[in-house]
A and B are shown apart, each in its own frame.
Chain A
């Protein structure tokens, strides 16, 4: 396929560091769009603030770069007004689950038909490596110089608990899985989340002596465990592992379908 067809070529090369996995995720997104044959005019990509949130600037869709954490709120309004648009939200771990955590769980509860791709790199990369809600306990960040005292969120489990219709996790190394999950998420008529683990060698790897992008991807390769296998493993065995796979894939009416029912009831009563 021709990636360049979907890119705003004059904005390239992108700002992401060498070894950063964000570009790999973007490629997965574009491959799936290409496979599904979606028209560029029919796609809106919405983001908040951070490295991941620079994605919309590079793609030739209807693109909206909003305020920190609020992408899902903007996307909700856009989707309601233009239900035929494919609305894709791209977000980081901090953007989606710290400042935007409330919007994230409520969009899942509401089951609004959006796909949120979360680039999880355990850190606020763009601003110099501050701790995020997914930074593991004890790991170093510029705001956790002695090790992070905070416990991390498991974003996929959070989305699952909040009621999302589709939730899956992959890593940038497992590019085939990422493609498959993103495709399933795009086709889901409800709130779908794909969490992709992506290395931040500059702001996280270096500080935590986890090496460059290649070494961090090697870690993903060696330490990922499928969700089925993980169920048979003890908590100790799962320490430091990345559980990948599809956590939720269910059919339930989405917000717009439920609002259609509201319209029917309202019209019956008011006719």
Chain B
């Protein structure tokens, strides 16, 4: 089975700007009613562009290998 990145969205800090939804090269996110929804996690290639472009420090992407070993 394909390993999947671990993506977390801190809804307390998210301001719903949709930058992640728009700029994810693999279109992993859909916009939900208030917050982005991780609609296609299996498509994530852990490029972390969403994390880097999230102005609100609300997205954390842990690449599959690190997600498994549960490192910091």
Check whether chain A touches chain B (CB < 8 angstroms). yes
A residues contacting B by CB (< 8 A) are 2-4, 7, 12-14, 16-24, 27-28, 31, 172-173, 175, 212-214, 217-218
Quick check: which of B1-9, B37-45, B51-59 contacts chain A, the rest being far away? B51-59
Query: Contact between B57 and A3 (Cβ–Cβ < 8 Å)?
Result: yes
* CB neighbours of A173 from chain B (8 A): 23, 53
Query: Contact between B56 and A13 (Cβ–Cβ < 8 Å)?
Result: yes
A7 to B60, CA, bound (A): 15
Interface centre among B17, B53, B54, B55 (most CB of A within 10 A): B55
Contact-size category for B: 10 to 19
Q: Interface of chain B, helix or strand or loop or mixed?
A: loop
B residues contacting A by CB (< 8 A) are 12-13, 15-19, 22-23, 49, 52-58, 72
Interface centre among B12, B23, B49, B72 (most CB of A within 10 A): B23
* CB neighbours of A175 from chain B (8 A): 49, 52-53
**Could you write out 6 A-B pairs with CB less than 8 Å apart?**
A4-B57, A24-B54, A24-B55, A27-B55, A214-B17, A218-B22
Query: Contact between A23 and B52 (Cβ–Cβ < 8 Å)?
Result: no
* CB neighbours of B57 from chain A (8 A): 3-4, 7, 12-14, 23, 27
A4 to B72, CA, bound (A): 12
* CB neighbours of A214 from chain B (8 A): 17-19, 22-23
Query: Contact between A18 and B15 (Cβ–Cβ < 8 Å)?
Result: yes
A9 to B22, CA, bound (A): 27
Known: A13-B12, A13-B15, A175-B49. A20 touches B55 (CB 8 A): yes
A220 CB, min distance to chain B CBs, angstroms: 11
Query: Contact between A23 and B22 (Cβ–Cβ < 8 Å)?
Result: no
With CB as the reference atom, state the residue of chain A lying closest to B18.
A214
Q: Which of A23, A28, A31, A212 contacts B56 (CB 8 A)?
A: A23
A24 to B52, CA, bound (A): 7
A28 to B55, CA, bound (A): 10
B58 CB, min distance to chain A CBs, angstroms: 8
* CB neighbours of A4 from chain B (8 A): 57
Query: Contact between B19 and A19 (Cβ–Cβ < 8 Å)?
Result: yes
Query: Contact between B55 and A16 (Cβ–Cβ < 8 Å)?
Result: yes
* CB neighbours of A14 from chain B (8 A): 56-57
Q: Which of A22, A23, A217, A218 contacts B54 (CB 8 A)?
A: A23
